[in-house]
Amino acid sequence: MTEPYILVPAPPAADLTTCDREPIHTPGSIQPHGAMIVLDARDLRVTHISANLPTRLLGRPAPEALDNSIVLAAQTALHEDGHSLSRIHAAPRTPELPYSEMVVHHLDGRIYAEFETPVSDHDEAGAVAGVQAIIQALRRTRSRQELCDVAVRELKSLTGFDRVMAYRFDPAGNGEVIAEACEPELEPFRGLHFPASDIPKQARQLYLRQRVRTIADVGYTPVPILTEAIRPGHAEVAALDMSLCHLRGLSPLHIEYLQNMGVGATLAISLIPDDALWGMLICHHRTPRRVSARVRALCDLIGQLMSFLIGEKGQNERLAERVVRARILDAIGERVNAAAAMPVQALLERPEEVLELLEADGALVQIGNQTQLFGRTPTLPQALTIAATMRARHGGEAAATNALGTIAPELGPLSGVAGGALVLPILHGPDDFIVWFRDQVAQTVTWGGNPEKPVESEAGRLTPRKSFAAWQSVVQGQCQPWKEVDLELAKDLRRLVTTAMLRNLETQTKLAGLRHYDALTGLPNRRLLEERLAARRADKDASPATMIFLDLDRFKTVNDSLGHAAGDDLLVQVANRLVESVASHHLVARIGGDEFVVLCENAPLAAGQEIAEAVIAAFRAPFQLAGRPYRLSTSVGVAQAGLGQPDHMLRSADSAMYAAKREGGNRAVTFDSSLHEAALQKLEIEQDLHQALERGEFEAHYQPLAALPSGEIVGFEALLRWRHPERGLVSPADFVPLAEETGLISPIGAQVLRQALCQVRAWREISGRGLFVSVNVSACQAARPDFPAEIAAALAEAGLPGEALLLEVTESIVAQSVAIGHLEAVRRTGVRIAIDDFGTGYSSLAYLQTLPVDELKIDKMFVSQLGRDTRSSTVTQALIQLAHALSLTVIAEGVEDERQWAELRSLGCDAAQGYWISRPVPVAQALALCGWRVRSDEGEDEAAQVSVKRRLPHSEPTPVSAAEMA
């Protein structure tokens, strides 16, 4: 009987006649040191296998064909997005799959399971301990160059590779080896440049998706991927996207390139600060060398830390340079502000300052009816051509180019008089701008091989260059590169000049129309909007209208962390984007702070909703803030005017906007009557909060914290509860945000703090032990001027030392420099500070640089996978070691079973809390826990197990409400 399917390779062979279009993410093969199975995510049917596995697996359901552990791992992956590390699981190690390690990820409707045998050499045994030393060494560095120098040295020691390089991309895509550690007999590559064509565009896109990549043996023989044959009447089988597969086969061109370099194995780690590929850490070995999945996970952690530190140190370097030039901007500002009648003339009085501000050689200023060239510049017609070309490309945004010939061929001949330029549109008028020029600078660049011949053609196919000997070339037609700080200072100058001009115009002319426009953004203001609404109220035949109300999400963080100048710049960018996003006949206005509205006249509700969604979509592209990409979202409310009620439209849109805020922001909500009712209920709760404070309705429930490995109860976290006389126990989620918004959180927090301290004093006296209490503190509480005195007074009132109190803070406090200063003052009294929810993103590493910290609380997201996912154990252990390297105590949150407790104990965690120990309980029940000692069943006799479980209330928990669980 004929088999119903014929096995065929998938996909067809790659086209090697071109490099930049090669589909490197769909090679149709894997490296031979492992195997791969691909499942259809809809029904878990095996759709692809590597050719080193039995073909009878194809087409069969996974539960029937594969071990149950593989099926469970696949089901887990279904609920997760694709990730460059994926998850590491123990493999079943059967005759068909003789592997003991499995990595699984989910991508575009397919589940990929890759199988390997763990590496047993020094790379696995010493990796975890080595990461701790690397983290300490990286944190001590003071610049990006020193960071890269230390990274290559430490990574070489960790991995054992012959050569480790830090490779940085320039804006044109060319790369340079800026740091290197290699065996003494190898020829050094440091200082060599490599053309952008060596790493084509699709490779860079892949490197953003998959942060860690390895080739175990450059001379490997590919193992093809097999799939079911195409049956008559069925569509052609699609190529298999292997972007996130660590076993992914490589481009023949890339393999040949590495062989020409004498490389036998590679490990590459992407460096991605601010979502952009800044560079890579590249490891080369002369002979084949495997890297285990666990070491790849640790390398990814190092790469993320490196990415963060690159961004942070780059920002510090920019700030240091900015401080040097800030005095020039201050001098210009004083002169322009003092010349109320003629701000532009004041700007041009000292042209050398305008040049020195941006370290330029010449400039063209055209504002109003004044046009002036100064310094070394092209002729006026040439300068105007450059300005027009750059403004046409970049619109109203400030922009710079280091080589004029690269943005337009007709500007190439001008490189002799200006190598590069920076253009700054002035918001006062469409033809107002400043352009700075820099002379061209001839540079001698040393390349790794001839950059003019990155590939050669042989027998109808491309082949990489065979020589990487140093090749020098002189680069002309470019200026000294513009830096991010140049663009930042130019924008600051624009804000200064624009504000002065608008102030001058309003003062000089007293035109009523000017009172209708916002001085910062140039948009209509609240006064003009109200007059437009009044006109609609008087017009009985007014067409339908819809109001869109926008409030920027977390905008206050920008002002608090980067200053009001950065916030103003962001508001100007938002205004420009809003104007570009809606039709010109709609009114876009700024009505105050970070609030904007769009009045859509002659637009029914459905049209207004479409405009609101278009506005939200426009915010998906990043803005530029302090010279770096900044993601900003907005909460949007939409409302339609009722007949004769245009004024209500603004109030209704405002209510809908707040509903969008409550749902997490970055969305649009359309007003309905229930929102008005919710607003009334919010007002009612606000009034009840005042009364609750007076009546003492707030109380604390206490969740114990147990020390590891002893299991001894050492303290309690106090969790706020509101026992409302009519509503019962109110969830903190329903009243804490409102309390913060109204400022009541400070007196409420102070009241609960005093309660908690008095309670822990009583427990210490009863138990004779040095118990402590942990209290959560919001950013607005810590920022109050009297916060340090309030903490000191509460401790004195309770008769307790500072060590009896632990204050927990969250990410939002990083933006509050005043609050950080207060925490430092409190910490000097012996009170300890903990970061709550640590580890929810690699940006959490920033806390360690900015906060006075004693303890870290690892988020339950990590704890929940312990004992089931080896990657979570690896990352959690790295976090614990990172904390211990900084002399910090680690508390794990959300412990829900004995397996997690045992894993945390083995990883060296210091303390834990969670439902497995006890849920939050009232004061009376908490007293009974003071003398407890948590013990797991492991290593205990049956009688001890029974005894312990009877003493722990979590063994048979009673149902609790959502409010009690919060």
Which residue in 919, 848, 904 sits closest to 873, CA to CA? Answer: 904
More confidently predicted of 297 and 23: 297
Residue 806 confidence (pLDDT) above 70: yes
Question: Which residue type does 277 have?
Answer: L
pLDDT tens digits, one per residue of 928-950: 787 676 655 544 333 233 223 32
Q: CA 862 to CA 840: how far, in whole Å?
A: 9
List, in sequence order, every beta strand (DSSP E) within 91-204.
101-107, 110-116, 163-169, 175-182, 193-194
Could you give the dihedral angle defined by the CA atoms of residues 401, 403, 405 and 411, in that order, rounded to the nearest 10 degrees?
A: 70
**How confident is the model over 652-662, as pLDDT tens digits?**
888 888 888 87
Residues 6 or more apart whose CB falls under 8 angstroms from that of 911 comprise: 705, 706, 707, 708, 714, 889, 890, 891, 892
**Strands across the sheet with 362-367, in order?**
370-375, 362-367, 433-438, 420-425, 399-401
Least confident of 319-328, 511-520, 540-549: 511-520
Burial class of 23 by CB neighbour count within 10 A (0 to 12, 13 to 18, 19+)? middle
Which segments within 476-592 are labelled E, that is strand?
Answer: 545-552, 587-592
For residue range 727-753, list pLDDT tens digits in order.
Answer: 788 777 777 777 777 777 888 888 889
Whether the predicted pLDDT of 276 surpasses 50:
yes
- Residue 805: CB atoms within 10 A of its CB come to 25
Mean pLDDT estimate for the chain: 81
Tell me the C-alpha to C-alpha distance, in Å, between residue 312 and each of 144, 151, 353, 625, 843.
9, 16, 29, 14, 11
At 964, the pLDDT band (50, 70, 90 cuts) reads: very low
Phi, psi (rounded to 5 degrees) for 775: -130, 135
Between 71-80, 491-500, 517-526, the lowest mean confidence (pLDDT) is in 71-80
pLDDT at residue 69 greater than cutoff 90: no
- pLDDT for the residue numbered 287: 95
pLDDT the model gives residue 46? 92
Q: Is the pLDDT of residue 446 over 60?
A: yes
CA distance 62 to 49: 12
Residue 854 tokens read as: 């004693």
User: What amino acid is encoded at 458 in this protein?
Assistant: E
User: How many Å separate Cα 739 from the centre of its chain?
Assistant: 28
User: What is the C-alpha separation between 529 and 392, in angstroms, rounded?
Assistant: 32
**Strand 855-858 versus strand 889-892 pairing type:** parallel
Residue recorded with tokens 């925490």 = 823
Identify the band that residue 702 occupies on the pLDDT scale cut at 50, 70 and 90: very high
- Location of structure tokens 């503190």: 777
Confidence band (pLDDT; 50, 70, 90) for 956? Answer: very low
pLDDT at 449: 76
Confidence (pLDDT) at 499? 80
Q: Is the pLDDT of residue 515 over 60?
A: yes
pLDDT digits (tens, 9 = 90+) for 771-802: 999 999 887 788 888 889 999 999 999 999 99
Please give the pLDDT value at position 442: 81
Give per-residue pLDDT as tens, 594-633.
999 999 888 888 888 999 999 999 998 899 887 788 889 9
Question: Residue 888 is encoded by which pair of tokens?
Answer: 């910090």
Q: Tokens 């190598």 — which residue?
A: 419
What's the pLDDT band for 882 if we cut at 50, 70, 90?
confident
pLDDT at 850: 61
Q: Minimal CA–CA distance to 332: which of 120, 497, 554, 452?
A: 497
* 760 vs 767: CA distance, rounded Å: 10
Give the confidence band of 848 by pLDDT, cuts at 50, 70, 90: low
CA-wise closest residue to 861 among 885, 824, 890, 896: 896
Helix (H) or strand (E) holding 682: helix 673-695
Task: Identify which of 12, 4, 2 has the alpha carbon closest to the alpha carbon of residue 231.
Answer: 4
CA distance linking residue 548 with residue 585, whole number of Å:
14
- Among 10-24, 349-363, 717-731, 858-872, the least confident range: 10-24
Q: What CA–CA distances, in Å, run from 399 to 402, 483, 488?
A: 10, 11, 11
- pLDDT-based confidence at residue 871 (cuts at 50, 70, 90): confident
Query: Which residues, at least 6 apart from 153, have a Cβ–Cβ distance to it below 8 Å?
Result: 164, 181
Q: What number of residues does the chain have?
A: 966
